[in-house]
Amino acid sequence: MRARVLTVSALAFVAAAPLLAQDAGSPRALAGAEYYGVSFGSGLGTKSLHELVVPLGFTVPVGRRVILDAGAFYVNAQRKDEAGGSGTVNGLTDVTLRGAWQIRPDVLALTVAVNVPTGQRKLSGDQFLVASAVATDLIPFPVTSFGTSASVTTSLAYAVPVGPWALGIAGGYRYNGSYQPLADTAENLKPGGEMRLRVGADRLVGQGRLTLGVTFSTFSRDEFGADRLGAGRRYISQASWNFPIGNSSVAFYAWDVHRANDAFGPDSVRTPKLTVNTLAVGAIAGLRVGRDLLRPSVELRHAWQGTGKMAGAGTLVGLGLRYQWNAGGRFAVLPSVRADLGSIPGAAGNVSLTGVSAGLSVRATL
């Protein structure tokens, strides 16, 4: 039965805040702050990128089958270039409201999410460069999108046991409204709709648990004036294996994001397809320190991209440390740090990058 619950959670609440993965018996709140800064060597054009993020979220159970949650970020992001110029995006991101209904507990779940466009839109040219720079899977910026249009997403998830496995499937559709993304043009962007299918499976392996998942997304064309952008197809593969070692635990994981974009100009003239693929592998240990938990981690990311033959688009190695201090039965305080080293291609060869992150979050059961 527990395996079936885990699969439904993974499929139905895959986009939900981490709070939803916990016991939903009482309302919960999340707040904190996280800073991430990255500096680049010469030859890229961008000298540094910095983000300061304040997450705000809560989840409220309604009866035994319904969970409501809401979340947003306050973000201050800045980009500095090698010529001395800079751009800053500052303010609230979009607010996400979500409801999850266990139609048949542990078997069938329905979620509905609404994106409220409270975020940063009508960006200036310098602000657009900031938004473009942080929209990457390679470098782990806390926030990669500052604001889009109003949207509604619905998904339905079903799980069933098959021998030692718990198998699940979820399908969803997202409808997007139009908005004006740039301050220097009156053109509106109408993002295309997204259809998403996710298949997941998990099972016990020895004293541990193996979890596998694949998400497939396809998009209709975005419309921006006379131009068309086909977001193409997206494949996200995930795998994890966690197991106990005495009172502690170890988890190995991997994920891969594969994107293929088709661009279209006036009269639907197709331009070369750009394919981007990012792979990550890592490990996290959970070391018991009395009632608390120390989580050291290591991660390797590598990206490829190209319009024909794909070439390396960057490598990053990260070391992290998080401490979970259980301050009584209702509060958990989680300070964290992370350091990254890597490189990405520049105009005249690879450019080095150095990233540093520090954060503090508080989870409260109300």
Region of residue 63 (left: phi > 0; alpha: psi -120 to 50; beta: else): left
- Confidence (pLDDT) at 264: 55
- Confidence (pLDDT) at 341: 98
* Residue-range domain boundaries for the chain: 2-365
Segment among 65-79, 220-234, 300-314 with least mean pLDDT: 220-234
Looking at residue 188, what DSSP letter applies? Answer: P
Task: Provide CATH code, domain 2-365.
Answer: 2.40.160
Identify the H or E element spanning 228: strand 227-245
CA 89 – CA 145 distance, rounded (Å): 11
Residue 265 has pLDDT above 70, yes or no: no
Residue type, 187: E
Q: Give the number of other Cβ atoms within 10 Å of residue 215's Cβ.
A: 19
CA 91 – CA 120 distance, rounded (Å): 7
Out of 14-18, 48-52, 227-231, the most confident range is: 48-52
In tens, the pLDDT along 320-342 reads 999 999 987 789 999 999 999 99
Q: Determine the number of helices (DSSP H) and then strands (DSSP E) in the chain.
A: 2, 19
In tens, the pLDDT along 171-207 reads 999 999 999 998 888 888 888 899 999 999 999 998 9
Phi and psi dihedrals of 30, rounded to 5? -135, 135
pLDDT band at 13 (very low <50, low <70, confident <90, very high): very low
Segment among 81-85, 176-180, 263-267, 302-306 with least mean pLDDT: 263-267
Closest CA to 280 of 294, 261, 298: 298
In a 13 Å sphere around the CA of 87, the CA atoms on its Cβ side amount to 17
- Confidence (pLDDT) at 154: 97
Closest CA to 123 of 114, 115, 113, 133: 133
pTM of the predicted model, to two decimals?
A: 0.87
For residues 232-252, average pLDDT: 94
Residue 281 has pLDDT above 50, yes or no: yes
